[in-house]
Amino acid sequence: MGGEVVIGRGLTLDNPVGAASGTFGYGFEAERMGNLAGLGAVFTKGTTVDPRPGNAPPRIAEVPGGMLNSIGLQNPGVEVVASEYAPRWRGWAPRVIVNVAGATIEDYVRVCQRLDPVPEVAAVELNISCPNIAHGLDLGVDPRAAAACTRAVRAVTGKALIVKLTPNVTDIAEIGRAVQDGGADAVSAVNTYLGLKWSSNRGRPVLPGAGMAGLSGPAIKPLAMAAVARLVAALSIPVIGIGGIASAEDAREFLELGARAVQIGTANFYRPGIAAACAAELQNGRGAA
């Protein structure tokens, strides 16, 4: 169960375990800590056309079984990623898949166009589901907009195209079918669930503004599994499972459910090295119930 997996359009991973976007940066800290070897893939932080400083702190909060985040897509912009970061990925064992974000379809097209000739970029993962940017939310919740974004990117890239879905919709399978029809090679699911933490002391949410943020971690695992089950039943393209995975057992459950691969997010924060450890355990046949 822990060996090579084919995602599509030339994208093959040495094993089915990846590190999820936004929880692993661009892989350089993990490289320094010796936590890269053995991973199937690194999904980078969401990358936009222009650099973004992200939201002012506080932008994370702990909740039972997980965390809320409202990072606001802090990243150096696609030019830095393509010209300065990508050469440093040369020779890495994990495939590097760049997570792409934007406010308009044109933004996604521009980022993917810039990445297309970069050989170290194994694939792109479109984050059409970030709950922190108004237009991103629109794309991911509307099947027509999701399909249009996928089609527009498909037209400018020969790389494997993974579309990452938001669970904050009534019918995730409908969005999955739309992006499959739009030319996606795979979907990844799920991004974070919309959440809010209240501070009674202060009489307002813990996080700034309206307090809306993305919920991740073990708390969302059963919800994510239900979403993945729906997608596996509805789609013919591979589904990459994400949500609350914190052990080889968790990863194995998603794979047995029908996910082709998995990503580990929040668990990286409290156990750096967990993703590579899970990959090794799956390969050794551990993680079985």
Ligand X SMILES: Cc1cc2nc3c(=O)[nH]c(=O)nc-3n(C[C@H](O)[C@H](O)[C@H](O)COP(=O)(O)O)c2cc1C
Euclidean distance between CA atoms 254 and 183, whole angstroms: 24
Write the DSSP string, 229-279: HHHHHH-SS-EEEESS--SHHHHHHHHHHT-SEEEE-THHHHSTTHHHHHH
DSSP state of 220: G
130 is catalytic: yes
The burial class, CB within 10 Å (0-12 / 13-18 / 19+), for 84 is exposed
Beta carbons of 3 and 283 less than 8 angstroms apart: yes
Residue 14 vs 125, nearer CB to ligand X: 125
Euclidean distance between CA atoms 173 and 52, whole angstroms: 32
Name the active-site residue from 112, 130, 149, 278: 130
Residue with the shortest CB distance to ligand X: 22
Residue 200 vs 235, nearer CB to ligand X: 235
Beta carbons of 164 and 127 less than 8 angstroms apart: yes
Task: Provide, rounded to whole angstroms, the least separation between the CB of residue 37 and ligand X.
Answer: 21
Residue 45 vs 252, nearer CB to ligand X: 45
The residue ranges that bind ligand X (CB under 6 A) are 20-23, 45-46, 69, 71, 73, 99, 127, 164, 191-192, 216-217, 220, 242-245, 264-266
Residue 149 vs 201, nearer CB to ligand X: 149
Euclidean distance between CA atoms 110 and 50, whole angstroms: 10
* Cβ-based neighbour number of residue 90 at 10 Å: 9
Closest CA to 220 of 243, 196, 252, 251: 243
Which residue matches tokens 């050794």? 284
Greatest alpha-carbon span in the chain: 54
Task: Provide, rounded to whole angstroms, the least separation between the CB of residue 203 and ligand X.
Answer: 26
* Residues known to be catalytic: 130
